[in-house]
Amino acid sequence: MREEPLVRWDWIGRNWPSIQSLLEDHVVMSLVPIVVGLLVALPLGLACVRWRGIYQPTMSLMNVTYSLPSLAVFVMLIPVTGLATRATVIVPLVFYSLAVLIPAVVDGLGSVPDHVRQSAVAMGFTPLRRLLLVELPIAVPVVLAGLRVAAVSSISLVSVGALVGRGGLGYLFIDGWQRQFYTPIIVGVVLVVLLAAIADALLVLAQRLLTPWSRARGTA
């Protein structure tokens, strides 16, 4: 066996355009579930706070969904969303995001101290204004903490999609495996982790800007 360097930089240079397009695909497939997830989780979370009774059933359903292995769900979706389409990967990831984001929204709204809510009522806020101007801003740190978890998981999970033909940077793992060639695998792992780190950092930054009065609660 000849000595092969772990990373062959010339390969990266030659294949940069295709790596770049995989990266773009990866970003789209991981970003959409987070955005859609947040848009769905906010009203659902509010509903769970308003009608306490639906929270437990919703969460049980979410927990079951969350426990399904991603590869299995991708495969089962193929007849509906098609082989090697973005949708096959995006749809399950939306549900995984919801499983993290709905409790985050509920906990976030639950983190509003009762005396703050009461004084907002006493000062004559209408329910909608109270929600938008008082409760949601206070809930932001907890919701964003959930969003960080959802974003990082989502970015990492997209690559499993490569096994059903559409996994963004995950394609590099398949390619590297089939050719027994380290460079694409390492490039893939590094880019995925880098992407996750950037998304995480951006969300931390967003929190600092959105809630200058508080600092991130809990990094886990």
Partner 1 sequence: MNWLVDFFGDPANWSGPDGIPVRLTEHLQFSTVALLLAMLVALPLGLWIGHTGRGALLVVLSANAARALPTLGLLVLVVLLAGLSTDLPVLIPLVALAVPPILVNTYEGVRGVDPDLRDAAYGMGLRGGQVLGRVLVPVALPLILLGLRLAAIQVVATATVAAFVGLGGLGRYVVDGFATNDYPRTLGGAVLVALLALLVQLVFVLIQRLLVSPGVRRRNAVR
Q: Which is nearer to partner 1, 6 or 128 (CB)?
A: 6
Q: Residue 101 in contact with residue 146, Cβ under 8 Å?
A: yes
Residue ranges of alpha helices (H) inside the chain are: 9-50, 55-67, 70-81, 86-110, 114-122, 127-130, 136-158, 170-178, 182-210
167: tokens are 């996994």
Taken as a whole, the chain contains a residue count of 220
| 108 close to 141: Cβ distance less than 8 angstroms | yes
Under the criterion CB under 8 A, does residue 97 sit at the interface with partner 1? no
Which span (16-24, 28-36, 63-71, 114-122) binds partner 1, by CB under 8 A? 63-71
Residue 105 binding partner 1, by CB under 8 A: no
- DSSP per-residue letters across 172-217: HHHHHHHTT-HHHHHHHHHHHHHHHHHHHHHHHHHHHHH-TT----
201 phi, psi to nearest 5 deg: -65, -40
Contacting partner 1 (CB under 8 A), which of 113, 180, 209, 213?
180
Please identify which residue in 15, 81, 85, 156 interacts with partner 1, judged by CB under 8 A: 156
Could you tell me which stretch among 17-25, 32-40, 67-75, 111-119 binds partner 1 (CB under 8 A)? Answer: 67-75
Does the footprint of partner 1 cover residue 68 (CB under 8 A)?
yes
Looking at 40, 46, 61, 189, which residue binds partner 1 (CB under 8 A)?
Answer: 189
Beta carbon nearer to partner 1, 83 or 132? 83
Copy the structure tokens of residue 196: 């996750």
Measured from the CB atom, the residue of 44 and 99 that comes closer to partner 1 is: 99
Residue that is written with structure tokens 């079951």 in the block? 64
Q: Is 182 in the site for partner 1 (CB under 8 A)?
A: yes
Site for partner 1 in 16-35 (CB under 8 A): none
User: CA of 180: how far to CAs of 113, 160, 172, 186, in Å?
Assistant: 57, 19, 11, 12
DSSP code of 54? Answer: G
Restricting to residues 124-153, which ones interact with partner 1 according to CB under 8 A? 149, 152-153
Contacting positions for partner 1 (CB under 8 A): 63-64, 66-76, 78-79, 99-100, 103, 107, 149, 152-153, 155-156, 159-160, 162-164, 167, 169-170, 172-174, 176-177, 180, 182, 185-186, 188-189, 192-193, 196-197, 200, 219-220
